[in-house]
Structure 1
Amino acid sequence: MKKKIPNELLHSKAKWQLLVLIPLLGFVSCGDAFARSISFNAPEKIKSLLQENVKGLVKDEDGLPLPGVNVLVKGTKNGTSTDANGVFSIALKEKNSILIISSIGYLQQEVVVSGSLVNVVLKADKKALEEVVVVGFGTQKKANLTGAVSQIDSKMLENRPTANLGQALQGLIPNFNVNIANGNPKTGATYNLRGATSFNKDANDGNKIKFSNGSPFILVDGVEMDPNMLNPEDIESVTVLKDAASAAIYGARGAFGVVLIKTKSGKGGKTNVTYSNSFQWSSPTAVPDILDAYTIQDAIVKGLQMENGSVSNELAKLDKIKEYMDDPVNNEPYYYTDASQKNIIWRGNVNPYKEALLKSSPMQKHNLSLSGGNENTSYYGSFGYQNQDGLYKINTDNLKRYNALLNVSSKVNNWFKMDFKTAYNNSTYIEPVSPAGKGGWWVAMSQEPGRNVNMPMLVPASLHVPQKYTDNILSFMDYGSSVDENNSNILLAASPTINFTKAWTLKGDISYLANSTIRKTILPRLERLETTVGSYTTTQTDPDYISRYNFNSNKYTINVYTDYAKTIAGKHNFHGLVGFNREWYTEQDASGQRNGINVNVPTMSQAQGVMTVADSENHWAVQGLFYRLTYNYEGKYLFESNGRSDGTSRFQADRRFKFFPSVSLGWRITEEDFAKSIKPYVNDFKLRASYGSLGNQNVSGYYPYILQYGTSAQISYLMSGIRPVGITPPGLVDPNFTWETATTIDFGFDLTVFNHLEINFDWYRRRTSDILIDGLKYPAVLGAASPQVNSGTMDTKGWELGVKYKNNTSYGLNYDVTATLSDAQSEVVKFANNPTKIISDAILYEGQKMGEIWGYETYGIFQSQDEINNAPNQKLISSGLWFPGDVRYKDLDGDNQIAFGNNTVGNSGDRKIIGNSTPRYQFGLNSNASYKNFDLNVFVQGVGKRDLWINNNLYWGAGSTGTWETYNNSWTPERTDAFYPAYKNAARNRQTQSRYLANGAYLRLKNLALGYTIPKALTDKIKLQRVRVSASAYNLFEFKSVPKTFDPELVGMNYPIIRSFAFGIQATF
């Protein structure tokens, strides 16, 4: 009986496949004659030609063809995939071969081939359809989400040679901004969602108002905790709730988003023990290539000569430096200035960066975990250890971190379950500390060439003096100054669950978190020789001292909530949750400092000088009632509302509570009947919209609505033998002081195509209103500053795109690629304190966008005195003479002079907005691939657009330790086409301007990791389940436009960003 060929096989390219098949079969039927005409190996060749060509059709459960399905002959590498009509064709060498049919989102099938035609119906993978996402106080099906929620799992965090969780999270979630300020081992990440959140007073200067990038509310297993203290190996998933609709259930704590970190838990079954390690070596990504001592002095001389300055003394020093650099063996790094041989001038050649920085520093990490259980109890426990040296060559800084975690879940009976968690995290960091008068190590190194370049750290023996140190900044680093800081926290948490029915549960979360910081600082007195032999200097801004600081805090949290789910008529699906939350927090700190330290016994009791002490105690509390109501009709029309009635101790009683609601809607178009025909191609398409408001209670101070007396430190004179403490009068308080409110509107869609490609997009606007700013100024005679009032408003608008492609090929290559792209801009909508719109970094104005850079438009570099004489007058921005080689600015308002007008937006003179420092178009590209026993991860991250004004001595040089890059491209009479102005210390050339605005865009290979899993046949012999070895690199290279002196993520003078290489092993027993 003939088999009927399905109509689907006659469609499209199936037609020409049959036309080709007919002559091919005729050719094979002549095989005997053909075999006689070829070599004696003909039987084997004929066998290959006689392969059976099998065709098939793959459909889903609704009878629709499935494209892109993998078809593999079991036990071979022979594979193919279905075309757009669900049709495939494959050649088989043997009868009764088995085909493995697989596709993402469907259950894999094995089909025995018994004929030339195969029909396969793939069933949907229920687990994939039921994929859940962690949300506030529970989970939801991913398909039913209506808010802006992003989630990543532990697989995306693995295989990265990172020192902390922040490094691992950078670039993985669109508009989740992770900033790591520098490469110091103790520097943790700061987090921000969707751009600027408010504006407030500058923490370093209370007279300045600036935009602020507030942090989201970060919870670890439901408890607020510092994520920088966590062990990345313990993380199961990270979920980010971005819009108000998703975060509203957390009320005021989630005003600017919520991050939910879930740690790993036991899976039940046999106990698995996993050990992993990583050995890493780190080096700076960018180190200033500073000028040598002779070139710095030569630049000073030439700069003075250009301006007809006196150079005789400088020329003498130049000759002496050259003499030493030409023959450092037979010359000393100093010379005498008089016959008495008492006064000296240093002429050494020291590169403080090379002397202070290691070329490479080690780090090792070890992690041991075990998990398992039975049908009633599961557990996961881990212990982590990290030992990381910093980059200081002198008194090397070091970080040690210990992490311990235990998660236990026990099903007591059919209706009661108890989850228990305990965690301990501890870190100790020790580093040398610089005196305040030196401005920090990195600032000091870039300044004062006479001290840090010409002056060696140790006094040469030829001076015949007992003192061994000089005034070089490296001396302070070497002498024994240190700060030793220990941070620890311990968490105890329990979560009971009562199941009244399958649809109704009652849950509780009870937790206690204790934090502790202990810091000890030692700054000995450093006697040093500067310029007079036998005369020693001890003067510095900070006297020698020893100090101690102790901080303790305790946080208690209680959550009680119940949820109920109900389906009516198989179509109407309801789920409701209501609950109560209360948190209260207390903190105490105490500090003491005493001068006159005894370096042999560095304790406060043995110090001989004046002692100062201080302490404080604070507390706050919040509580609220919250709810979530969700409804969907047949999984097509989705509705959700979250809300919370919130109260905080930070506001006065009659303004303490406020209700913050939200609503979100979704429409799954692909669940409609009219869309069924495209569902094999467009698997899921959902439109989303949300609106909600949240309060912000993170205002300055714990009780800002109360008039408070202040205390001043011990004053500087004695009364009856003691230093009294002063009392300051209270400031003014606005009686209407209340919540800031962040209102967010969000539109987005989620799209899945061919079960391989996922696209998520959101556009949003967040308006923060009633921002606290200083009120209108009162007359100075009042003697008090203006109270803060709720009168500011700002908007942040942005969008974010996430694209993920995942594929498992028929020949064994599995890969996925995730791309993220986002943008955000913030603008002041209302700011009553600046009606004239003054342009200043100390105040904002209405219409100002975050990151605006005001400056002059550069018109080139003056080439002659005639050009200067005929150009618009520039003396209003810098008095004194101008010279060839100086910057020429453009006269924008045509008044024949360069000026800044009255310094307002309406009259800015010759200044305009020349750029914006806000990072725009931030992107990430994360790729994973595995083939046989090999796996590969490549992660690229960067910023598409950013302007930077670099105003520091490393960039400009001229009188400080500048760099070769600037020096070699500076104007001289012989090099008139240079990019930079003449290399001299001239503030007039450093006015903010367009020519020297740096392009801060960059693309960086953030992570590259290659792993190999030892074949199971070998690991079985040594009783191991799995062994994987890996090699990886972090911050491997970058494409950037900023000067090579700087890293694109750190354009300034600070601890360098690091580049690292690591090797590791992971073994499961």
Structure 2
Amino acid sequence: MNAGDYLNKLLSCKIFKLMRNVLLLIFITAFQAYADNSYSQNTKLSLALNNVKVVDVLEEIQNKSEFYFLFNAKLIDVERRVSISMDDKKISEMLTSLFSGTGVNFIVYDKQIILTQSDIKSLPAEMQQQKITGIVIDKDGVPIPGVTIKVTGTTQGALTDANGKYSIEVPQGSTSLTFSFIGMETQEISIGALTEINVTMAESSINMEELVVVGYGVQKKINLTGSVASVSANTLEGRPISNIGQALQGVVPNLNVSVSNGSPNSLPSFNIRGGTSFTSSGFVTGSPLILVDGIQMDINLLNPEDIDNISVLKDASSAAIYGARAAYGVMLVTTKKGNKAEKARITYNSSFQWNSPTATPDLLDNYTIQDAENKSYPLRNESIPSNSLARLDSISAYNADPQNVAPYYIFGGNVNWRANTDVYGMAVRKISPMQKHNLSLSGGSAKSNYYGSIGYQAQDGLYKINTDKSNRYNAMLNVNSEVSKWFSIEMKSSYNYFQYSEPVSPAGKGGWWTAMSQEPTRNINMPLKTPDYSPAGVMYTDNILSFMDYGSSNKLSKENLVLGVSPVITPLKGWRIKGDFSVNSYNYGRKVVVPELSRIEFNFTNPTIAHTSPSYVQVYRDRSRQFTLNTYTDYALTYNKHDITALVGFNQEWNIMDGLDSKGENILTPSIPYISQTSGNKYIIDSGEEISLRGVFYRFTYSYDGKYLFESNGRYDGTSKFPKNDRFKFFPSFSVAWRVSKESFAQPIAPVVNDLKLRFSYGSLGNQNVANYLYVPTYSTVPLENFLLNGQRPVGVTAPGLVSPTLTWESARTIDFGVDITLFKRLDLTFDWYNRTTSDILVDSDKFPAVLGTSAPTKNSGELKTIGWELIAKWRDGLQNGLNYNITFTLSDYQTSVTTFDGNPNLLLSTLYAGQKMGEIWGYETIGTFQTQDDIDAAPSQSQIDGGKWYPGDIQYKDLNGDGTIGSGLGTVNDPGDRKVIGNSTPRFQFGLNMNASYKGFDLNLFFQGVGKRDFWINNQLHWGLIANTNATGTWEVYNNSWTPDRTDAFYPAYKNKGANILQQTKYLQNAAYIRLKNITLGYTLPKKLTQVLNIEQLRVFVSTYNIWSHSKLPAIFDPEILTADYPMIKSVALGLQVSF
């Protein structure tokens, strides 16, 4: 073996390979200490070489640049021949192509390039680590605990301790450390040869400059002086919801979202900060003005996937700029837009969802219903009638052999039903499907951006027969273009279409859900046979499922087209002139078809058509066109420590509405359900209205040194809804704020109290949300009177009501105190207290004698007051292992009371009265249940509330006024008898808890929502059963816990028909507080290294639930959110996919 061979063998052994790699790493580290990578990042080269050696390529690169290479020719094959042709590429791209598939790695340190073999990565970990220590402080030199330090591009990291110090083991070859902290700018620091790195972190510009959408513009969140809440798209996305209202429940304090039930046609209603007005019949919780990209429209028709942000303007100072329409607050919805200089991005979102009822009644069966009725007679000291005993025996016989015993028997010549039918189970689906799909395209060039989307949602309801279902179609296109440096234009368009169908609930049956819970003995399976087994002649019995099945239909559609254009002129820096013109077209259509239903009820030979006679077809058409013009200009000026912005504008709106209602009776052919194919009475009614609104508005803001903030908004509004001389009114507002944390005396506590702002606002708003043409006396007509004139039913005309010539605006004045605090750079707190007084409420004037023959005029004389508060607490943090999380808690409360109402001088409890709180429940105080006749004889007489005899098992009420008799007195505030205020149905202490976490591609959201205090009186016959009505089905909850001589400690009274036992009272007043897990979403975003293989930018899959769990003390048949036994709320499970290209 010669010396050369020996040397080559020695160099190839493992120990020398290891030593070689260690020396090379030391060499690299030495270069790294002085390297600045700006040259390698900014330099681009072009090469065109064919069939040359690698070494020739390297030399050509060195000749064309300042790069030079370091490598071992015995380890790197530079004699290999290659061809390369690349134009204007970075050095990293060239080398990747040159050494692809050769096992050669390269390391670029600015102008130095080191070529190595791939096994350099195989060094033991203990030989690759270096320790770096340091301290992290803020701009004032205060140490920051909890800062996350990571080796850039890895999950390896550490946290600073309470003194801001840290220590981290860094793999050799790592180029930088990344320092991040909530509310601070993320920094990436090069390591080089450093072993100590001290960092000064600056407050995040994103945090400081966070913008919030306000009226006709945006403001920095930190400079807000009014009460404004903002909801981002992240809160709305990836949840199993059918409309935006479901996603907003509990998210914003005192944004009250009411969902009436789980029907596909149930649309949420919105209210901000409680009671807003009243009528003679009760309180009104008015809806806010909702603007989508500045255009008023129905938010429930929107696709939640298209929404980018929602701002809620709560106080008068924030909403005053919108004047007449904003008395109840404002919701500003901003839809998504593309980004300039962004390549086209296609995003597809899809989810499949399965819904089921949250609550179902546990109903009594046929035998127990009859048995309970029989047992109620002895509770009244009565004997059981023989026909009742016979009926119970007949039901027993059927239950023993339902296959061979008919579901009816004949008694007294009539059909008596005895089946044991689970009508509810046969009518309601346990699971109903829903699906959503959305496809969007966004992007932009250097001077323009665009966003377009199409969406589809299909939801089946809970009816098994003739299933109720809805479909929603959405399309949107937003385009913004910068035509020149001083002129740009924004164009927006959207189309929304919603359709819904369901069977028609028959008149006189109490609605689907009441009826299907009250008819368990009526057979469903048809056709039946008569007693002699001949055909009955009809297909149906008088069961509610017959009405579902036989062919009635209620179909409705909503169509909304919105077009808007907004030119923007910028003559000078800081000066903007903008115009908005939009057209909002809305069409509503509905067609109701009710054929005759011939069915057996009491007699086989005489089928009934009650509730469906005469058959009819009815068609509704409503159309509205809204044209809106806004022109406004704003100017911003900064001089030294003074920041001034001013805005002034003009608004004009035109609303044109018309409608058509037509009906034809006696359908000739049920398969051709058109009015032209009816033979009976027909009518057609059309209507039309026009309303306009005009206003000028302004906003002025001033800030000194970011510490002292002032804002004034105002509007001079006029509306055609009021008489000519009372149409216009000025509504001003102002607000001030003081950022205490910027004062010098607050600096010692700055490490704890990072920001502290105190706010105060006052404003007045007008309310035009009243009926149209109140000041114009108008006739009304009755299509067909209930008598004949010349052989025909004539059209009736009523006398016009009296009107007031001085009707004008209701006014809402609001005072708001607020405070915003940031603690420990992690915890954000916002608190507001408000007092809103609504005056000049339109109510009926003084009573006139009935002989007048018409209604009294309306006048401005009512007043109410709403006082409330709200809290938002947000905590954001991250852990060393890469787990990031945030928690948001919201809590709010309000109470509304009438301060002035002239329409009830006697203070009757049956209507509103001065001093009444919204939601008051009047009732008796319960002592307990009478156990013996001696107890009844010794107690105050209860004959005023029930003249019949009282028995053991009945309720004993307390004599509050001491007159020896239980009664309701005169039914007034001053003489309520033995009643008092026992509760309040207003939801108090509404709260939400939203928790988000992310970890290595996984994301988790948990959202709880609920009500802390609410009273509820159950006025539902299904719940009370026989106690309320002899025909009511009843539930096991009441039946199994009702009083009997052997169960004297039972909660409910004796199970017999006596409504006086369930008058509103303290004992059975329900606690309707609840907590509900509204949403759980678990998602996973695949790593980019996997998705890039498929040319996918991002791929996320998720599973989500809605209303999956709740806790309350209510009986199981009631959902605590809607408090009815009607169409139930739904709970859901969904699987979804989000993918971007």
TM range (shorter): over 0.9
- Relative to structure 1, the CA distance from residue 721 to residue 880 in structure 2 (aligned partners, 3 Å threshold; closer, same or farther) is closer
What is the letter of the counterpart of residue 278 of structure 1?
S
| Equivalent-residue separation in structure 1 for 2:348 and 2:128 (angstroms) | 52
- Residues 1:315 and 2:315 are matched in the alignment: no
Partner of 1:857: 925
Shift of 1:182: 0.6
- CA contact 2:595–2:612 (8 Å) conserved in 1: no
1:360 to 431, 438, 454: 431
Partner of 1:129: 208
- CA contact 1:463–1:533 (8 Å) conserved in 2: no
Question: Which secondary structure state, in structure 1, belongs to the residue aligned with residue 677 of structure 2?
Answer: coil
**Which one scores higher on RCO, CA 8 angstroms, separation ≥ 6?**
1
1:75-126 deviations in Å (ceiling 9; x for gaps): 5544332234323344556597743211122222233454553311123332
| Equivalent-residue separation in structure 2 for 1:480 and 1:501 (angstroms) | 67
1:406-456 deviations in Å (ceiling 9; x for gaps): 000010000001000110000110100012222211122234x4xx53343
Partner of 1:988: 1060
- CA contact 1:133–1:141 (8 Å) conserved in 2: yes
Q: How is 1:398-797 mapped onto 2 (pairs within 5 angstroms)?
A: 398-447=469-518, 449=519, 452-456=520-524, 458-461=526-529, 462=533, 464-540=535-611, 543-568=614-639, 570-597=640-667, 598-700=669-771, 702-720=772-790, 722-797=792-867
| Structure 2, unpaired ranges of 5+ | 1-121
Question: Which secondary structure state, in structure 2, belongs to the residue aligned with residue 1055 of structure 1?
Answer: coil
1:379-402 deviations in Å (ceiling 9; x for gaps): 000000011111000101110110
1:287 to 351, 357, 360: 360
Question: Which secondary structure state, in structure 1, belongs to the residue aligned with residue 563 of structure 2?
Answer: strand
Question: Which secondary structure state, in structure 2, belongs to the residue aligned with residue 810 of structure 1?
Answer: coil
- Residues 1:82 and 2:157 are matched in the alignment: no
1:1039 to 1111, 1116, 1119: 1111
Shift of 1:683: 2.1
- CA contact 2:940–2:965 (8 Å) conserved in 1: yes
What is the letter of the counterpart of residue 1065 of structure 1?
L
| Equivalent-residue separation in structure 1 for 2:434 and 2:497 (angstroms) | 17
Q: How is 1:42-81 mapped onto 2 (pairs within 5 angstroms)?
A: 54-74=132-152, 76-81=154-159
- CA contact 1:407–1:419 (8 Å) conserved in 2: yes
- Residues 1:332 and 2:406 are matched in the alignment: yes
- Relative to structure 1, the CA distance from residue 750 to residue 333 in structure 2 (aligned partners, 3 Å threshold; closer, same or farther) is same
- CA contact 1:67–1:754 (8 Å) conserved in 2: no
Q: Which runs of 4+ in 1 moved over 6 A?
A: 44-52
Partner of 1:26: none
Aligned-residue RMSD, C-alpha: 1.9
- CA contact 2:259–2:1122 (8 Å) conserved in 1: no
| Equivalent-residue separation in structure 2 for 1:532 and 1:698 (angstroms) | 53
What is the letter of the counterpart of residue 369 of structure 2?
I
Question: Which secondary structure state, in structure 2, belongs to the residue aligned with residue 875 of structure 1?
Answer: coil
1:1021-1056 deviations in Å (ceiling 9; x for gaps): 211111111111100010111100111012223211
TM-score by length of 1: 0.92
- CA contact 1:293–1:454 (8 Å) conserved in 2: no
Largest Rg, 1 or 2: 2
Shift of 1:304: 1.9
| Equivalent-residue separation in structure 2 for 1:526 and 1:300 (angstroms) | 31
Shift of 1:718: 4.2
What is the letter of the counterpart of residue 497 of structure 1?
V
Q: What is the percentage of aligned positions where both structures have the same residue?
A: 53
What is the letter of the counterpart of residue 654 of structure 2?
W
1:816-867 deviations in Å (ceiling 9; x for gaps): 1111000000011111222332212xx1111111111110011111112221
Partner of 1:211: 283
What is the letter of the counterpart of residue 566 of structure 1?
L
TM-score by length of 2: 0.86
Question: Which secondary structure state, in structure 2, belongs to the residue aligned with residue 674 of structure 1?
Answer: helix
- Relative to structure 1, the CA distance from residue 711 to residue 171 in structure 2 (aligned partners, 3 Å threshold; closer, same or farther) is same
- Number of residues of Structure 1 aligned to a counterpart in Structure 2: 1009
- CA contact 1:434–1:476 (8 Å) conserved in 2: yes
- CA contact 1:442–1:1055 (8 Å) conserved in 2: yes
- Residues 1:907 and 2:979 are matched in the alignment: no
What is the letter of the counterpart of residue 325 of structure 1?
N
Question: Which secondary structure state, in structure 2, belongs to the residue aligned with residue 698 of structure 1?
Answer: coil
- CA contact 1:435–1:542 (8 Å) conserved in 2: no
- CA contact 1:383–1:405 (8 Å) conserved in 2: yes
- CA contact 1:437–1:542 (8 Å) conserved in 2: no
Partner of 2:63: none
Question: Which secondary structure state, in structure 1, belongs to the residue aligned with residue 321 of structure 2?
Answer: helix
- CA contact 1:486–1:519 (8 Å) conserved in 2: yes
- Residues 1:925 and 2:993 are matched in the alignment: yes
Greater Cα offset, 727-736 or 427-436: 727-736
Question: Which secondary structure state, in structure 2, belongs to the residue aligned with residue 1042 of structure 1?
Answer: coil
What is the letter of the counterpart of residue 935 of structure 1?
D
Partner of 2:231: 152
1:447-483 deviations in Å (ceiling 9; x for gaps): 4x4xx53343634344522211011111111111111
Partner of 1:847: 915
What is the letter of the counterpart of residue 769 of structure 1?
S
Shift of 1:50: 12
Partner of 1:20: none
Partner of 1:979: 1051
Partner of 1:810: 880
| Equivalent-residue separation in structure 1 for 2:674 and 2:176 (angstroms) | 78
1:729-758 deviations in Å (ceiling 9; x for gaps): 111112221111000000001111222211
1:304-344 deviations in Å (ceiling 9; x for gaps): 22113342211110110111112111211111226xxx632
1:900-949 deviations in Å (ceiling 9; x for gaps): 12222222221111110000000001111111111111000000000000
What is the letter of the counterpart of residue 827 of structure 2?
L
| Equivalent-residue separation in structure 2 for 1:493 and 1:734 (angstroms) | 39
Question: Which secondary structure state, in structure 2, belongs to the residue aligned with residue 392 of structure 1?
Answer: coil
Shift of 1:267: 1.0
Greater Cα offset, 458-467 or 708-717: 458-467
Shift of 1:711: 1.9
What is the letter of the counterpart of residue 683 of structure 1?
N
Shift of 1:888: 1.0
1:935-970 deviations in Å (ceiling 9; x for gaps): 111000000000000111111011311111111111
What is the letter of the counterpart of residue 320 of structure 1?
S
Shift of 1:879: 1.0
Shift of 1:345: 1.1
- CA contact 1:436–1:542 (8 Å) conserved in 2: no
Question: Which secondary structure state, in structure 2, belongs to the residue aligned with residue 65 of structure 1?
Answer: coil
- CA contact 2:642–2:702 (8 Å) conserved in 1: yes
Shift of 1:53: 5.6
Shift of 1:219: 0.4
| Equivalent-residue separation in structure 1 for 2:704 and 2:1065 (angstroms) | 59
Question: Which secondary structure state, in structure 1, belongs to the residue aligned with residue 286 of structure 2?
Answer: coil
- CA contact 1:799–1:823 (8 Å) conserved in 2: yes
Shift of 1:726: 2.1
What is the letter of the counterpart of residue 285 of structure 1?
T
Shift of 1:722: 4.6
Question: Which secondary structure state, in structure 2, belongs to the residue aligned with residue 950 of structure 1?
Answer: coil
Greater Cα offset, 738-747 or 67-76: 67-76
| Equivalent-residue separation in structure 2 for 1:563 and 1:92 (angstroms) | 53
| Equivalent-residue separation in structure 1 for 2:645 and 2:671 (angstroms) | 69
Question: Which secondary structure state, in structure 2, belongs to the residue aligned with residue 616 of structure 1?
Answer: strand
Question: Which secondary structure state, in structure 2, belongs to the residue aligned with residue 85 of structure 1?
Answer: coil
- Residues 1:168 and 2:238 are matched in the alignment: no
Question: Which secondary structure state, in structure 2, belongs to the residue aligned with residue 1020 of structure 1?
Answer: helix
- CA contact 1:373–1:379 (8 Å) conserved in 2: yes
Question: Which secondary structure state, in structure 1, belongs to the residue aligned with residue 344 of structure 2?
Answer: strand
